[in-house]
Amino acid sequence: MQIAALFVSLLAASVVSAKDDNSTGTSVKSQCRTIAKMQNLVDLAANQTKLENKADGNTTKIDEVKSKAADASTQLTSMTANATLMGECAVIQAHQDSVQACGDIQKIEKMMAIAANDTKLNNKLDNNATKIDEFKAKASDMAAKLTDLQSNGTLTTFCAAQRDVENCESMKGLQKLIAKASNQTALDAKFEGNTTKAEKFKAKAAEAQTKLDALMSNSTLMATCSSLSQTQTQQGSTNNTSDSSNNSPAIRFQPAGQMAITGLVVAIGALFMI
């Protein structure tokens, strides 16, 4: 698998994402959100049954929705006429769907693990047999969905890459925290001499160290992180992108949580080519 190529495209996409990330309402992301909202409104207004249900038969409300939908439809038409924008929205949507699917896989796996372990079941559900049976039934219903999701190689590759990126990012955070805990100046500044708070923070740093050690003992992951940061450095040194204020790799390479929206998006594109 061309993991390096994957990350290159991922970073390239992050550039777009970071430059684009502005709350002025004109970013591609927010334009896509606007389109989706307006589309929902127009669809609702066109479905009398749904509309009446939603408005509880209140004709004032129904007329309001219809009038808003009529207003929106002009803007919607002009926005959806932009093929570039619509293409970008499709990519963003596909990415969001994939992230959601990765989350589903994790959730269901966790659920199955609980359902298969009586100790965990009893702990979680307070030894309540009714609740336990319900939970087991639900888990069994989800099993088919899990099999389905896991059989999609594109998706599982995407989820693994996403997890790698998240782990690489989290290592940076852990290292920072650990460094701070052993820096008396920083501790004094942060806790204003409150040793109780400082000790608590040090305990947290010790936990972070354990986590970090576990991650760093994985040489596969370390190799991935290293190629990832090399790619970042290369990208960071090209001083030729339009807006230099947003140009530091740290900003461009957003942490996974919110990131990726546009970031991993193109990764999906790359995944299809692997």
Binds ligand NAG (CB under 6 A): choice among 40, 74, 75, 128: 128
Helices of type H across the chain: 3-20, 28-46, 48-54, 59-80, 83-115, 118-124, 129-150, 153-181, 184-191, 195-216, 219-237, 249-252, 261-273
Q: Is 164 in the site for ligand NAG (CB under 6 A)?
A: yes
Binds ligand NAG (CB under 6 A): choice among 40, 77, 140, 218: 218
Binds ligand NAG (CB under 6 A): choice among 2, 40, 75, 82: 82
> What is the footprint of ligand NAG within residues 29-48 (CB under 6 A)?
31, 47
Pairwise CA distance, residues 185 & 110, whole Å: 42
Q: Is 241 in the site for ligand NAG (CB under 6 A)?
A: no
Pairwise CA distance, residues 166 & 218, whole Å: 14
Q: Least distance to ligand NAG from the beta carbon of 231, Å? A: 16
CB 221 within 8 A of CB 167: yes
Radius of gyration of the chain from Cα atoms? 24
Pairwise CA distance, residues 131 & 138, whole Å: 10
Per-residue interface string for the shown chain with ligand NAG, residues 171-200, x marking contact by CB under 6 A: ------------x-xx--x----x-xx---
Q: Is 54 in the site for ligand NAG (CB under 6 A)?
A: no
* Residue 219 burial (CB count, 10 A): 8
Site residues, ligand NAG (CB under 6 A)? 19, 22, 24, 28, 31, 47, 49-50, 58, 60-61, 82, 84-85, 88, 94, 97-98, 101, 117, 119-120, 128, 130-131, 152, 154-155, 158, 164, 183, 185-186, 189, 194, 196-197, 218, 220-221, 224, 237, 239-240, 243, 246, 268
